[in-house]
Each structure stands twice: as structure tokens, then as C-alpha cells.
Amino acid sequence: MGFQSKGCTLRGTGDKMTEIAVLVKRVPDTNAQILVSGDRVDLSAVKWVMSPYDEFALEAAMLHKEAKGGNVTAITLGNADCDKVLKDAKAVGVDRIIRVWDDSWSELDSNQAQSALANVIRDLGINIVYCGKSAADTGAGSTGPGVAERLGWASASNIIGLEFEDTGVEAMVPAATGNARTGVSLPAVISCDKGFCKPRKPNVKGIMMAKRAQVEVMSSDIPSSSVNIISHSPPPKKAPGQTFEGASEVPRVVAALRNDANVI
Amino acid sequence: MSETIVIAETRDGELHPVTAELVSAANNLGDSTTIVVPSTNDAAANSASSIAGVSKVIACVGDCFAAYDAASWAEAIDSCAPSGVIVCAASQNGKDLASRLAARRSISVVQDVVGIDGGTLTQPIYSGKAMQNLSLNGDAAISVRANTFAAAGDGGSAEVSVMNQSADVATAVREMIAKASERLDVAEADIIISGGRGMQDPANFANLERLADTLGAAVGASRAAVDTWEEIPHSMQVGQTGKTVNPSLYIAVGISGAIQHLAGMRTSKYIVAINKDPEAPIFKHADYGIVSTWEDALPVLEAELKALLG
Ligand SMILES: Cc1cc2nc3c(=O)[nH]c(=O)nc-3n(C[C@H](O)[C@H](O)[C@H](O)COP(=O)(O)OP(=O)(O)OC[C@H]3O[C@@H](n4cnc5c(N)ncnc54)[C@H](O)[C@@H]3O)c2cc1C
């Protein structure tokens, strides 16, 4: 299973069936340059990948299945361009791949996206959902807790350790004063930080299977949008900084931090 | 008349100072600000009532607030808070709660707001490589990053009403594993001094810790440092796959300034870089760059700061 020593280990005992889902999102590679042209980001040239934290969620979902049985369904939200991330999930062994979309949709706000996902998850009879702690594009981290609330489920976010139990999971949740070893009963949504598991790589057989796999498309009712995106802009330009040569200049920097910047 | 509801940020039952910044944010959004203070008692609410520019304080009191549990917190707070735009801190739990509250009310959530100008909210997207400007068309829950707004002053005397809540907790803390060190977390700190692979040995982080003690700062690290040395925990990592921070001062020592590191700290108000390589990309983002080895620069820095701050 390739566990790292930082974080906690996993163990499994019983064999009660669980219906597991993992939410995966297609995002620009984190190394991609993001250009703004006109008043919108131009993503036409970026390389697309599965959002990095979703890889840990996917691994957690697979480990959950291996420990407790059940099926893993990978779910994404988006148009047909997003099939690739589902195929990537299929290649490491998920049972079912579902894309939530309707051709009448364009960009969905959080309220719409979470409603659509929650409706599909409810219909599928899922009882545990794994997702990344945030997606690399928005960085928001809203989907996990938002979907949980709509379903009336428990949630634990940003987890850094995980153990599987018969009726739930035990998650390590970072808190201001340390880490909270937290019992979470199913049904629940678990949003994953990195570090507690090592995402598996697909093998040749998995990749072949994924090529042939069918993406199921599901739709849902959604509320109307309540956020208007006005524009995108490049990050504000900072005034150019000053560079000083050598340690002997440190006192000048300290003086500037005190007198000009007022931060010490 | 639009009402804005600040959900107070608390730590161990006490009001966190960022709450006063949230009040300023709220006052930018609407004409009347209510603070809801979730706690096991009304002490924090009483301290919130002295924040200037607040029309009402609601002490949302319940046993569920003993430890963070998203479901019960959202349920209890939702029943105390009037309708309107909800403002939370963009902390780990604040963002989680904003999502829950928005979902509970079937409204949208806008995270990590770093600017409010008239009706336009600005948030970073793609790890700060671009900004998104948006307007709200109805109520929403938003989270606001620390250091975005100046804290509202004190001198207020808003009335405090206590609302007792009982919500069933959905998750149970079985054990708190206290931090190995008492050090401030990078996510909580207003000054951060971070070390990278250029520190060469984890033992050399002791130099950063001494400086941090003088400055009241937290110690952070690059991913290369965390991945290379077992002694440097992931909780210290700043960047794309670590923590996103927004301190007043960020000091990067022996850090090259990779795009994924910048993703976590580029919005810091002031950035100081100490690096021996004049070509290191971090210098392009630093307000004050010092081209030097840390071995040479840190003793001078320590002496200067000690002289200044005692
Ligand atoms: C998907 C993904 C996510 C990532 N997430 C993160 C993240 O969250 N955070 C993060 O930090 N990185 C992240 N990275 C890694 C990132 O790309 C860099 O590899 C990393 O930030 C480099 O760390 P560093 O600057 O400490 O090391 P290096 O790049 O090795 O730089 C070391 C620097 O130290 C300087 N130096 C050496 N000796 C001295 C000395 N004696 N005195 C002064 N200076 C000296 C060198 O000149 C050099 O600039 C991520 C990468 C990927 C692909």
C-alpha cells in the first residue's frame, strides 16, 4: 500500500459493504502559466491534470474499499473534456465513473455545483465521499463541507490521517493546538490533505481497461446562479523590490522593515 | 438596509483578533453588522461587543462548540444568525464553516476574499496567479483573508443577546494530540520565517527558531525541506500543497522561490529573501532581497533584531 511514516497508518477489520465515492476535478497543471487576456483567464494552452489533492482522496477511497469492501465510484462535474480525469481514476481501479453535466449548463457557481453533486450522490446510494481538501484552480475547499451539508451528513476536512472502521472512519484533523483524532460515523464526506497515503500509479492493464471504460453522464436540477463573475485580472503588481549585496547590508534591511514597512 | 453577519473567529473560547478585521469587511458590504459568537459560554461575545461599528452581538452558546464539528456548528449558528451576507475568516475552520452555512441556506460561498470595493469582491484564483472579481446577486457566505482589512477599533458598546443552542455533534474528538512544540502555527502568525533546502541540515532551523522567538514569529519551511528532513513536519510547509499564508512579513531563507512555494506566500505584505544565489527567483518577488549565505546573514539579523526588540 506504500504508506509513509508521517501521519497515521490504516488498519481494517470487518467486511461491511460500503458505497464509496471520490470526487475528482480537472484543473490546469499547477506549473501552468495562467494568462489573462481581455478580462478572462485564457486556459487554451494549459496542460490539464487531476487536481493534486484529489489523488490522495482517490487513494483513500481505494484503500477504504480494500479494507472494508464495497464499490468505488469516481465522480466529476464538467463537460466531456473532463472524461480524462475519470479515465485516470478508472486506470487505478475504481469500479464506476460518472460525469455530472447537462449541456444547458456553462460555468456553475458553488451553490449550483454542490447541489448537482449532492443530488447525484444521494441517488447513487453512496455512504462515504472522499474529495481533495481544495481544488488547485479555485483553492476554495468548499465542495466537501458544502456537499455534506446538503446531504445532512457529517464531514471532516483537511484530514492528514485515516483509519477505517466498521461503521465509519477515524480521521486525523489538524486543529490550532495540535491534531484531533476524530471519529466520524457514516454517512460522511472526508476532504483529504496530502501526506497520509501515497497515490498508486496505474499499471498497463488498468490503463487498457480505462480506455474501454464507459463514462456515465448524469444530470440534476440546479438552483439559479447568485454570483456574477465580472472579470479576471492579473495579480496586482508589487513595486519592484530592493536587493542588497552581502550580510553587511542586513542592518539597512532591518531599518527599512522598521521605518518604511512598519512591520517589526 | 442590508445586514451583514460576521461569524466571530475564536481560539480556545477566546475572541481571535481577526474578528475586528471581519467587522471592517462587513461594514464595507452592508450598512448594519451583527456579530455571531459561537462559544460554550458568553465571555467571547462580551469582548466582541466593544468592537466599534457593530450594531448587535449574538452569543451563540452551546456545548457543541467545545471542539470544531462542522455539522453541529453550522446548525447552531444558522439558527442564531439573521439572513444577509455571512462573513467568516478565511481560516481552515472559517472556510469550512462558510461552506456549510452557505449550503444550509442554499446560497453561494465565496472564499478567500482579498478585496471589497463597492459591490465587487476580489479573490485569488489559480493559487494567486490571477484574480477574480465578482458581484453577489443575493445573499452569500464569504470568507475574508487575514490582513486584508484594517481591524475595526474598539469603543463600541453593542448589545449582547444570548441564544442557547443544542445541536447534535456529528464527529467526536477521541484524543487531542498536542503539537510537539509550542511554536506558533504558520497559519496563525503575522510574521513567518521559513527555511528551505538551503538550510542544509534540519539542525540549522534552530537559527530560525531563535529569530522567530525574538520576532514573535512562526517558523515555516519549503516542501524540499519537509520532504528531505523527517524533523521538519508537513504542518510547517508553505505553498501549493502546504499552507497558504498572508502575514505582514515573510522571511524566506535558503528558499529558491519555486512557483508552488510562491503560491502559498506571494500575498504577504512584505517579503524578505536571504539567498546566496543572486539569480534565485525569490528575489523577483522580494521587497528586500539580501544576497548572502544564511550563515553570514542570520547572525547579523539576530543581533540587529535583539538590539531593536530586546
Ligand atoms: C505539485 C507540486 C506541489 C508543490 N508544492 C509545494 C509547496 O507547497 N511548497 C513548496 O515550498 N514547494 C512545493 N513544491 C516544490 C517546489 O517546486 C520546489 O521544489 C521547492 O519549493 C523547492 O524548495 P527550496 O526552495 O527549499 O529548495 P531549492 O529549490 O533546492 O532551493 C534552495 C535554495 O537555497 C539557496 N541556498 C543554498 N545554500 C544556501 C546558503 N548557505 N545560504 C543561503 N541560501 C542558500 C540556493 O541558492 C537555492 O535557491 C511543489 C511541487 C509540485 C510539483
pLDDT digits 0-9 by tens, B86-113: 999 999 999 999 999 999 999 999 999 9
CA-to-CA distance for A259 and B215, rounded, in angstroms? 16
**Ligand 1 site-directed mutation target among B236, B251, B260, B285, most atoms within 8 Å of CB:** B260
Residues of chain A with Cβ-Cβ distance to B259 below 8 Å are 30-31
Residues B17, B137: one domain?
A: yes
- Residue B271's domain comprises 168-309
Q: Among B112, B128, B144, which residue terminates a domain?
A: B144
pLDDT at B289 over 70: yes
Residue of the CA atom closest to atom 22 of ligand 1? B224
Contacts (Cβ under 8 Å, ≥6 apart) of A44: none
Residues B93, B197: one domain?
A: no
Residues B41, B119: one domain?
A: yes
pLDDT at B129 over 60: yes
Residues B130, B189: one domain?
A: no
Q: Among B80, B111, B144, which residue terminates a domain?
A: B144
At B209-225, the pLDDT tens digits run 999 999 999 999 999 99
pLDDT at B166 over 50: yes
* Cα-to-centroid distance, B282 and ligand 1 (Å): 10
Residues B134, B175: one domain?
A: no
pLDDT at B235 over 70: yes
CA distance, residue B238 to nearest chain A CA (Å): 13
* Cα-to-centroid distance, B223 and ligand 1 (Å): 6
Residues B215, B262: one domain?
A: yes
Which of A36, A138, A179 is closest, CB to CB, to B177?
A179
Residues B124, B67: one domain?
A: yes
Q: Which atom of ligand 1 is nearest to the CA of B221?
A: 11
Where is average pLDDT lowest: A12-16, B18-22, B141-145, B266-270?
A: A12-16
Q: Is A264's CB within 8 Å of B107's CB?
A: no
Residue B215 lies in a domain: yes
At A84-124, the pLDDT tens digits run 999 999 999 999 999 999 999 998 999 999 999 999 999 99
Q: Is B175's CB within 8 Å of A156's CB?
A: no
The number of C-alpha atoms within 13 Å of B164 and in the hemisphere containing its C-beta is 1
- The count of domains in chain A is 1
Percent of chain B with pLDDT over 90: 92
**For range B277-304, the mean pLDDT:** 97
Dihedrals phi, psi of A228, to nearest 5 degrees: -105, 120
Which of A139, A236, A250 is closest, CB to CB, to B290?
A250
**For range B275-285, the mean pLDDT:** 97
- How many CB atoms within 10 Å of residue B281? 17
- Helices A110-123 and B92-104, axial angle in degrees (round to 10): 70
Which of A34, A244, A249 is closest, CB to CB, to B129?
A34
Residues B126, B217: one domain?
A: no
Residues B27, B126: one domain?
A: yes
Percent of chain B with pLDDT over 70: 99
| pLDDT confidence of residue A10 | 40
Which of A115, A158, A241 is closest, CB to CB, to B289?
A241
CATH number at residue A16: 3.40.50.620
- The count of domains in chain B is 2
The dihedral built from the CA positions of residue A203, A205, A210 and A211, taken in this order, carries a sign that is: positive
Residues B65, B101: one domain?
A: yes
Residue A195 lies in a domain: yes
Closest-CA residue in chain B for A56?
A: B241
CATH number at residue B129: 3.40.50.620
- Residue A205's domain comprises 4-218
Partner A, chain B 151-170, Cβ-Cβ below 8 Å: 170
**Ligand 1 site-directed mutation target among B253, B261, B279, most atoms within 8 Å of CB:** B261
Residue B289 lies in a domain: yes
Which of B106, B266, B270 is closest, CB to CB, to A111?
B106
- Helices A143-151 and B70-80, axial angle in degrees (round to 10): 70
CA-to-CA distance for B294 and A237, rounded, in angstroms? 28
Q: Report yes or no: B122 and B114 within 8 Å, Cβ to Cβ.
A: yes
| B128 CB near ligand 1 (under 6 Å) | no
Residues B14, B126: one domain?
A: yes
The alpha carbon of residue B30 and the mean position of all alpha carbons in its chain are separated, in whole angstroms, by: 23
Residue B150 lies in a domain: no
Q: Is B171's CB within 8 Å of A149's CB?
A: no
B203 in contact with A, Cβ within 8 Å: no
pLDDT at B195 over 70: yes
Question: Would you call the peptide bond into B38 cis, given omega within 30 degrees of 0 as the criterion?
Answer: no
pLDDT at B46 over 70: yes
Closest-CA residue in chain B for A196?
A: B234
Residue of the CA atom closest to atom 30 of ligand 1? B197
| B242 CB near ligand 1 (under 6 Å) | yes
Q: What is the pTM of this model?
A: 0.89
Q: Nearest 5 degrees, angle CA A22-CA A27-CA A28?
A: 155
Q: Is A232's CB within 8 Å of B304's CB?
A: no
Residue of the CA atom closest to atom 36 of ligand 1? B198
Residue B118 lies in a domain: yes
**Given pLDDT bands bounded at 50, 70 and 90, which one contains residue B139?**
very high
* Cα-to-centroid distance, A242 and ligand 1 (Å): 22
Q: Which three cell numbers stand for residue A160?
A: 492528514
Q: Which residues of chain A have pLDDT under 50?
A: 1-16
CATH number at residue B204: 3.40.50.1220
Residue B161 lies in a domain: no
| pLDDT confidence of residue A195 | 79
Residues of chain A with Cβ-Cβ distance to B130 below 8 Å are 34, 36, 41, 232-235
Residues of chain A with Cβ-Cβ distance to B98 below 8 Å are 142
